[in-house]
Amino acid sequence: MDLSTKNVTWVLLVVAGYLSFNTSINLFNRWCLGVHGFSFPLTITFCHFTFAALVLTPFMLLIPSYREKHAENWNRDWKGYLITGIATAINVGFNNSSLVYISLSMNQVITATMPVLTCMCAMAIEKHYRPNSWQVYGILPICAGVMLAVYEEAHNETVGIILVSVATLANAVRTALSSFILSGKLDCLVMTWYCAPISALAMIPFAIYRERTQLGEYFERASGETYMILLGGSTLALCYNYILFLTIQTLSGVTMNVMGNVKIILLLFLSRVFLGELAEIDVQLAAGVALTFGGFFLYRQALYYGTYVKSLPPPVSPAGPKTEV
């Protein structure tokens, strides 16, 4: 990532959009799946991807600049779209399912490992991607700081922990592979459209098997509420998936996940400040904040150093003595 060549305002807008939609989709899913009792995570996931495919299809087929490139795009990266779509379905489906069994704080503790996992996946997928030592020194305390700050003693079922762990690994694969594909300047809307139907198809058998009967009973009691939850969540998910791919393309998969972790800590800290709860900040939270921001400083300096080195002119070899023939 070379920030010196990017419009800073655009980067800030993309980051703000990602943080906003990331927070919104997490809170919405936790509310409807855990608090409100609409416990149908697989159906919600299927509807999100189906809605995205249906909404984007007219644009992808009617706009010439999109339509003319589909064959070329598929021939070049069809395996990547397939794996990304399936990994996305696993990530969203399993993560949503975990919120039925565990608290949001425990969910965030496990997903805090995303930068490390994404970095490892990126190293396996991209031959030329190798983080420098300062980036590694920055990523590790960021992950540890978030885990320390958000962890709360709570009743968390083993099945929920397993689900979110699998979801986190799938998300790391999805993020690293998306970063590799989008580096070829593929449009983010196109990427969203290619992956949405694959993800939806992957969810169908699981949603039917696990939730068909219970969903039918819930729909009979509250059909209007069901439509509102599915439509509202699907609209929010479409916006989030687009901004997710846009953030990966603008920054990188690893940097995006670092920003997501810093966001968690920032929200925790600011909520205590503005709600007048500074006195309630304990040693655990303070240590988590210090670790996260210390790691972020190291990671940011590593990116700055990499950009600075790239901007330097190549070394000029001193001219040797001329030899007369």
Tens-digit pLDDT profile for residues 208-247: 887 888 888 888 888 888 888 889 889 998 998 888 888 8
**What's this model's pTM, rounded to 2 decimal places?**
0.68
Higher pLDDT, 258 or 69: 69
Reply yes or no on whether the pLDDT at 35 is more than 50: yes
Evaluate if residue 293 carries a pLDDT over 80.
no
**Which residues of the chain form beta strands (DSSP E)?**
none
User: Tell me: the pLDDT tens digits for 165-210?
Assistant: 888 889 888 888 888 888 777 888 888 899 899 999 988 888 888 7
- Identify the pLDDT of residue 54: 92
Least Cα distance to 28 among 86, 104, 93 occurs for: 104
Q: Which residues contact 67 (CB under 8 A, 6 or more apart)?
A: 60, 61
Distance, CA of 199 to CA of 92 (rounded, Å)? 9
> Residue range 57-72: average pLDDT?
89
Structure token pair of residue 315: 């070394």
Cα(116)–Cα(108) distance, integer angstroms: 14
pLDDT digits (tens, 9 = 90+) for 86-144: 998 888 888 877 877 777 667 777 777 777 778 788 888 877 777 666 666 677 777 77
CA atoms within a 13 Å half-sphere pointing along the CA-CB vector of 33: 27
Q: For residue 301, what pLDDT is reported?
A: 62
Query: In this structure, what token pair is assigned to residue 297?
Result: 């400083």
Q: What integer pLDDT is reported at residue 141 of this predicted model?
A: 74
Output the average pLDDT for the chain: 76
- pLDDT band per the 50, 70, 90 thresholds, residue 50: very high
